[in-house]
Amino acid sequence: GIPLTMAGEAIVYPAVPWSKRLFSLKTRSFPKGAVPRHLLGFLFKKGGDPATCAKETEDKRGAARVVSMNACISRLRKKG
């Protein structure tokens, strides 16, 4: 559970089908709109690696693009 003092900041999610509970109650891991430093490289709007890979794979469609995007991200993450 979460402390009662944080109830105003809680996020309520519908429960997964196999859960005995009706909902899940969680707290935010970081403020709304903020992005943790370790995830900045994955932002499209900041021109991160996903944007680079999207341009490289724009000629592909479906599963072929997914595989190419994953390979591109892996390659760029190993360099940096």
Q: Which pLDDT does position 80 carry in this prediction?
A: 61
Report CA torsion sign: 68, 71, 75, 77: positive
Confidence of residue 1 (pLDDT cuts 50, 70, 90): low
User: What is the phi-psi region of residue 17: left when phi exceeds 0, alpha when psi lies from -120 to 50, beta otherwise?
Assistant: alpha
14-30: per-residue pLDDT in tens?
Answer: 888 898 888 887 777 77
Helix (H/G/I), strand (E/B), else coil: 14: strand
21-74: per-residue pLDDT in tens?
Answer: 888 877 777 777 888 888 877 776 667 788 889 899 999 999 999 999 999 989
Whole-model pTM: value is: 0.48
78 or 1, which is more confident? 78
- Rounded to 5 degrees, what are φ and ψ at 31? -60, 150
- Indicate the domain borders of the chain: 1-32, 35-80
